[in-house]
Structure 1
């Protein structure tokens, strides 16, 4: 599951079927001092930062066989073929790339390049008094119905997407509302576009370009292109969708004027990620984005194909069955109890069938290779600044300063052999001209600075203590509450010196069956470390008999001979701010005569006004989200070290973004934004300051963190109107520095892109930034039918 946000630059219009995301609470933002942002980038030109190269098995066209059908896995069948509608998805975009004109495509560094199949030239011919762009079209460019691509198609698309007619149900791209008029030039092959406001990202317009019969009327726009495209103009044309089989078919376009497509057809098949290994093994798909687990399976399959391997499968169904368990299963299957024997025989048969099927799949997966690069998207930690502790900028900054972003990037990317560098920009990725590491506006990982920010915001040790009321006794949080609530009984004397002169603190005396005694990082009341007045750690002692037992337990664990851990499930990790700050091992001893430790609350969780500092961390629960959850657990541990507790809530993948991220039902969350070649246009709705709506709610556009400033909005507006590309990039970098300082979202790492491809598939795989050249994709040998 990708958990990528809605495409950048898409904002919801107010048509009958549009959807506007709102919030009932207004946002409060702090004022950013200019001094904080001065010199915040590295000071060197970052545009030379290298992007990860595409991994597509490039091959010259002469080495690509003519013909064949490529079966390509997608998430789902599209609900519309109109890429400018709110429910368009990744499959819609893939079809549009193959069958419709894109006037500009992206190279492997994410830079827009003129597409010569459609444009002979495109340039700004006038800047004053108004900006005018002149497009000169390829004279051979025609729609599949034989009509030339021309000014009428440009006009129809502009009118549909300008936002002036609410009858069009559109998630419109910004920029079209800046157009004043579109005219025919000196010939039918020239189109003059005049803007009423300058627009730096004019290359983003008219890609994809639809024929006027799709854009010409609201009815055609809203419903005419949902399931069919009567005319198109790409190397392929759309044939149709088979809902029964979950496939969409593209066939070679006989009217294509460019280099002919090598493939006869492309079949897009809806295959869930969990079923892609099986689909690849069965040959029902030849190309598929995969998760790390499937990539590992393919790597194992290739390794097992080596004759030197000579070993049975050590993974998959039945691989973890021990000899003793197998013997017991056999005994029960052929035992004296007929009913039980039948059950075990059936279970053994099912297991054997699963093992055989898995082994067959592994054998088939030897014919595939994993192609990998970095996806043009980054994963971020989002902080909901609408209300609660994270509405305070100091708390958001403390969260950011607690993170070791390098460690998080390495967690995901290093095992895959991909560059593991934290992302330094919200608006561009390494290799793009607009990229600069502006994270210095916020600062790097610093535990002491994070704690200082929290203290300045009023979150202190012991601050979670509830004030005493007239009808309630003292209520204290954490270890202090537990110790205070317990009264010494017949055999307990509270805090008192032991017979050997050591202090026994609290009521929770250690015992041999207490797993917490020898679990560093898990604290129990009265058994932990506290800081004395001189800053030294004072460790609470245990009775001598318990100490002897603890020593034996430790000695046994050292050789792996404790019964407590044999076959036991993993114990949950208790994040403790106390132990993270250098406390000792629970149950250890202090020297004779050491003073009793200070009250436990002094080292307890952070709190304010009787409430503990706990943030709700929402994560997806699906099988394809393991790496996201692993990153979430690491972040939780990092926050714990500065005194911030997290409550991890796992929700179904299908509701994760819509019901939690977009609706604001979270404190912390992980999700991704795709990269863009047009950050001034596409970044604005993501980071725009939320505005009050007429009904008193908050219009957030795509800013799901609800954090923004007027200055950020102004920088975006200036960048969008700046025709000098270098000046526009500098404004984008300034906006990014301000976004870092506001600390609503923290970019972590560029997402890995893993694609399984049959070994004879070329010019396809992990494309990275680059727009695929569909006409060049094919097989090294024409597949047998």
Structure 2
């Protein structure tokens, strides 16, 4: 996902939506991630003081703790980014710099054993005025270690490899010593991973339930001013205890709106910025006075995941692989990105994005003839109606997705591909509310579609999604894996040489394809509709926002 993509892959039900219509306009750009950002950059002096930035999400947070399995949602993370500490900032190319608002230094101080030393900014405090200390880091490391299964973690993020966290020269320094090397150590408190106060991570009950109704202590340029679940509204205001540069905005208002209402809300001046979906969204923004279309390929990507849990119809990996070969992912890319990308390409890697260092095509390819032969070979034979069956069971699978027209369009293309080889597919749409909690996490699907969102740390999420540990599913919702893949993942995460880690990660990716775990489809084109007067916000690519610099032009 992180992405140059993934430290902690986050999930989004309906944010990456691309349409199937034609366009007379030139495509907005490439779907290959690079070093670009399109945020209307301006210095602080160009911005007026004050103002309210109005944004939208599709559902209200189920749990504000994004480290917990129910809170592992991209929209929740987007909502709390102005509130929580991170160790590194990233630019549009994914290059890292220490975030000096929170840490004066972060250093790999030893490799044998691996030791990382975090020196906390002495001015950094939580929203109640209490200092951020090494104890917050130690508490989070313990919660995510996996040692106590009562902590319902979304991702271990390398803390399962940590031996101990100790106080350094004072309370403002944490020294992390690892039992095993962890390649993506920079992402443990960066990207989509964030530091929470020890009050949240100190015990399983606090971790799992203390942020069900709100965020609690924060440490960013903004704090939560109010929440209204009934109205679907979250209001952030300037943090009076913030020690960094004063934000230009007074407030940020996040409203829960159905995805189809986002562009009309932009046109009616009810929102200031929104991620766009299909070509109609793009054209509507282009035709709306006072709106800009901002574009930079992003780090969200769409995928198709199989359910291989014991007893499921797709428990046999040979069946999953055969089905995957029957799906024309390039046709899906060309169709959904028509008018949105100059050269639409299917995404052919689970770990790296197109344009990212390390990306290569490790897919098994589109081969419906091979798919048909392989289905025959494992005993799924065509009946008189053309649909295959075995031992009296029809080969009909249920595809579950967020209820959005474009997700359905993609499902229909997959449905048509599979019908050609005798596999039936039923389209099962669900609302966005509690989509992951009630549907995806319990495995209520044969196949499912949703979006992963990542950041600039591509390895930390590999065990989270593609490792299989039956008592710790994390985000491997299809419950697919093998001891061989687990061993390869472990070897990858233990490699501190970046180039060697890339080679191993690509071996992981090939193995994921060979086990029929999931199929990457397309990555985000990164089109945003943004109020023209809004500066330092829009399509960031891999860059992190400086929330103190977002504002409206004078």
Task: Sort the TM-score into its range (normalised by shorter chain).
Answer: 0.7 to 0.9
Contact 1:617–1:668 (CA<8 Å) still a contact in 2? yes
1:278: Cα distance to partner? 4.1
Give the Cα separation in 1 of the matches to 2:131 and 2:208: 24
- Distance change >3 Å, CA 172–CA 283, structure 1 → 2: same
Which sits farther off after the overlay, 663-672 or 741-750? 663-672
Give the equivalent residue in structure 1 for 2:235. 249
Q: Deviations over 1:346-383 (max 9, x none)?
A: xxxxxxxxxxxxxxxxxxx4332333444422222333
1:410: Cα distance to partner? 1.0
1:193: Cα distance to partner? 1.5
Give the Cα separation in 2 of the matches to 1:422 and 1:296: 21
Contact 2:7–2:459 (CA<8 Å) still a contact in 1? no
1:64: Cα distance to partner? 2.4
Q: Tell me which of 393, 398, 404 is aligned to 2:322.
A: 398
TM-score when normalising by structure 1: 0.60
Give the equivalent residue in structure 2 for 1:445. 366
1:57: Cα distance to partner? 2.4
Q: Deviations over 1:463-518 (max 9, x none)?
A: 52xxxxxxxxxxxx24xxxxxxxxxxxxxxxxxxxxxxxxxxxxxxxxxxxxxxxx
Query: Unaligned stretches of 5+ in structure 1?
Result: 1-5, 12-48, 304-364, 465-476, 479-604, 694-698
Is residue 775 from structure 1 mapped to residue 553 from structure 2 by the alignment?
A: no
Give the equivalent residue in structure 2 for 1:287. 273
Is residue 370 from structure 1 mapped to residue 370 from structure 2 by the alignment?
A: no
Give the equivalent residue in structure 1 for 2:18. none
- Distance change >3 Å, CA 212–CA 617, structure 1 → 2: closer
SS in 1 for 2:266: helix
Q: Tell me which of 425, 428, 432 is aligned to 1:647.
A: 425
Give the Cα separation in 1 of the matches to 2:402 and 2:501: 41
Q: Deviations over 1:379-422 (max 9, x none)?
A: 22333344577444444333333333222111111222365111
Q: Deviations over 1:203-227 (max 9, x none)?
A: 2223422334444566655555444
1:147: Cα distance to partner? 4.2
- Distance change >3 Å, CA 627–CA 195, structure 1 → 2: same
Give the Cα separation in 2 of the matches to 1:271 and 1:629: 20
Greater RCO (Cα-Cα under 8 Å, separation 6 or more)? 2
Is residue 205 from structure 1 mapped to residue 191 from structure 2 by the alignment?
A: no
Give the Cα separation in 2 of the matches to 1:609 and 1:746: 24
Q: Which has the higher helix share?
A: 1
- Distance change >3 Å, CA 237–CA 419, structure 1 → 2: farther
Give the Cα separation in 2 of the matches to 1:371 and 1:272: 22
Is residue 133 from structure 1 mapped to residue 116 from structure 2 by the alignment?
A: yes
1:111: Cα distance to partner? 5.2
Is residue 412 from structure 1 mapped to residue 336 from structure 2 by the alignment?
A: yes
Give the Cα separation in 2 of the matches to 1:617 and 1:385: 13
Contact 1:428–1:435 (CA<8 Å) still a contact in 2? yes
- Distance change >3 Å, CA 90–CA 667, structure 1 → 2: closer
Is residue 716 from structure 1 mapped to residue 494 from structure 2 by the alignment?
A: no
Q: Deviations over 1:219-274 (max 9, x none)?
A: 65555544455643222222232345432222223443333211122122222223
Q: Deviations over 1:656-692 (max 9, x none)?
A: 655654444444433333335444431213222464x
Give the equivalent residue in structure 2 for 1:71. 54
1:281: Cα distance to partner? 3.8
Give the equivalent residue in structure 2 for 1:573. none
Q: How does 1:740-755 map to 2 (within 5 A)?
A: 740-755=513-528
Give the equivalent residue in structure 2 for 1:184. 167
Q: How does 1:88-487 map to 2 (within 5 A)?
A: 88=71, 89-110=73-94, 112-128=96-112, 130-164=113-147, 170-171=153-154, 173-206=156-189, 207-216=193-202, 221=207, 224-227=210-213, 231-243=217-229, 245-292=231-278, 295-296=281-282, 298-299=284-285, 302-303=286-287, 365-386=288-309, 390-417=314-341, 419-439=343-363, 442=364, 444-459=365-380, 463-464=382-383, 477-478=384-385
Whose radius of gyration is greater, 1 or 2?
A: 1
- Distance change >3 Å, CA 231–CA 715, structure 1 → 2: same
- Distance change >3 Å, CA 703–CA 137, structure 1 → 2: closer
SS in 2 for 1:291: coil
Query: Unaligned stretches of 5+ in structure 2?
Result: 1-5, 12-31
Q: Give the CA RMSD over aligned residues.
A: 3.4
Contact 2:350–2:520 (CA<8 Å) still a contact in 1? yes
- Distance change >3 Å, CA 165–CA 290, structure 1 → 2: same
1:705: Cα distance to partner? 3.2
SS in 2 for 1:98: coil
SS in 2 for 1:774: coil
- Distance change >3 Å, CA 620–CA 135, structure 1 → 2: closer
- Distance change >3 Å, CA 107–CA 434, structure 1 → 2: farther
- Distance change >3 Å, CA 621–CA 254, structure 1 → 2: closer
Give the Cα separation in 1 of the matches to 2:269 and 2:182: 48
TM-score when normalising by structure 2: 0.83
- Distance change >3 Å, CA 239–CA 91, structure 1 → 2: farther
Q: Deviations over 1:514-540 (max 9, x none)?
A: xxxxxxxxxxxxxxxxxxxxxxxxxxx
Q: Deviations over 1:100-127 (max 9, x none)?
A: 2101234324455422322232122122
- Distance change >3 Å, CA 394–CA 231, structure 1 → 2: closer
